[in-house]
Structure 1
Amino acid sequence: MEVVIAGDIIGSKRNNPDDYLSVIEPILKTHCKEGMYQIYRGDSFQGWIHNPELALYVCLQIKAALKVKDTLDVRIAIGLGNINLIDENIALSTGSALTRSGELLDSLKEKDQNLMVKSGHSLDLYMNTALKMALLSLDNWTANGAAVIHQIMKKPHMTQEELGLQLGIKQATASRRLDRAHWKETQELHLLFQQYYKDVQDATTH
């Protein structure tokens, strides 16, 4: 089962395009299948995730990277399904993963939820409820909190001491910021998504 993410930058009109394009493109390039992402209308994007189980991790990494600047945020829809690749071009391709991510993204504003999944399976309800609860914290990351999360997601095996050095702060300060940004719980959410992905995949292949 393939996974496509589709997103809109929140606050794009109040910021220079370089402020967010330079942030999201390296993440998409790292985690999408080769060449299988696009940034369109200047502040929207989609990408075919190389390792489907990491889709939520990629979304959270994009969110943290953007929220380092406190006038930016993002809405992201995660679509699970199939992809019919046409001319090696994600923009021309079809399939339920693309359709679901696009349709869901269009509805996020009215749902008042900045991150959701859609696979067409009843398990979506459970994952989306967990995401709704998690967003009470994630949507309120401060710029400092987002910065520590962004750095540690880039290098997950980094020690807190190394994290502090990277950000020019004390280890104790880095530790407090991770706690306040609920890093431990964010990791648990990522593990929950991995289980959700496996369960949906199992349910659709049997």
Structure 2
Amino acid sequence: MIAVITGDIVNSRTEIASKWQPALKSVLNQYGKEPKHWEIYRGDSFQLRLKPGIALMAATHIKSTIRQIPGLDVRMAIGIGTIDAEAKKVTEVTGSAFIRSGSRFDELGKQMLVIDTGQADLNDTLNLMISLALLTINSWSETVAMTITTSIENPQKNQSELAAILKKTQSSISEALKRGGYDEIKKLNKYYQSKIGQL
């Protein structure tokens, strides 16, 4: 069982690739190696394969990274399933995880993040929860996005330590995490992990 995230950068044509591509590569590199685990293709699209349990937080991590760049955002679809055959490049691998991720991505519309676990009832529940979370996530400022990225990348550090990294006060870190709904995102992720663990 694996997870596949298929995504693309929203408004990428308004910025030169050198503005956002290094940031995207940097975050994808934290989840695997190119091109076996991730690839950027067609200019502004990407695919990442990873363990199912970390897929939702990885998508949040990608989102918070890209939202630090003014005017840009990212749309993603997470597919959970199996692999039929391995390949040297992630974009050449086949299996239900890739089919679910790709077909959900093609149907995204205005929704910025969806998931397909292969189970309709679970999909409905998780996608409703994700759509509610997106009401907050889609309005992250660059400061909130940066604070959440730093928190995701340093899960063992407390707010004072995060403040030292970002050269900010502890109270401003606390406020940014609260505005970004980070506690609620972690609760959503815990619920997601418990359900994915049962598949």
Which TM-score band applies after superposition, normalised by the shorter structure?
Answer: over 0.9
The one-letter code sitting in structure 1 at the alignment partner of 2:114 is: M
Q: Give % identity.
A: 32
User: Following TM superposition, by how much is the alpha carbon of 1:88 offset from its aligned partner in structure 2, in angstroms?
Assistant: 2.5
User: Following TM superposition, by how much is the alpha carbon of 1:154 offset from its aligned partner in structure 2, in angstroms?
Assistant: 0.7
Show the 5 A alignment for 1:4-153.
Answer: 4-32=4-32, 35-49=36-50, 51-109=51-109, 112-122=110-120, 123-153=122-152
- SS of residue matched to 1:68: coil
With over 3 angstroms needed to count, the CA separation of the structure-2 counterparts of 1:80 and 1:3, relative to structure 1, is same
Higher mean C-alpha displacement, 23-32 vs 173-182: 23-32
User: Following TM superposition, by how much is the alpha carbon of 1:41 offset from its aligned partner in structure 2, in angstroms?
Assistant: 0.9
Which structure has the highest strand share of the two? 1
Kindly provide the CA deviation profile for residues 24-45 of structure 1, in whole angstroms up to 9, marking residues without a partner as x. 2122222136722110011100
Native 8 Å contact 1:127 1:196 kept in 2: no
**Backbone CA RMSD of aligned residues:** 1.4
Structure 2 residue runs without a partner (length 5+): none
Kindly provide the CA deviation profile for residues 41-79 of structure 1, in whole angstroms up to 9, marking residues without a partner as x. 111000111x22000010000000111123111101000
Structure 1 residue runs without a partner (length 5+): 202-206
Q: Which position in structure 2 is the counterpart of 1:167?
A: 166
Show the 5 A alignment for 1:171-190.
Answer: 171-190=170-189
The one-letter code sitting in structure 1 at the alignment partner of 2:178 is: D
- SS of residue matched to 2:30: helix
- SS of residue matched to 2:119: coil
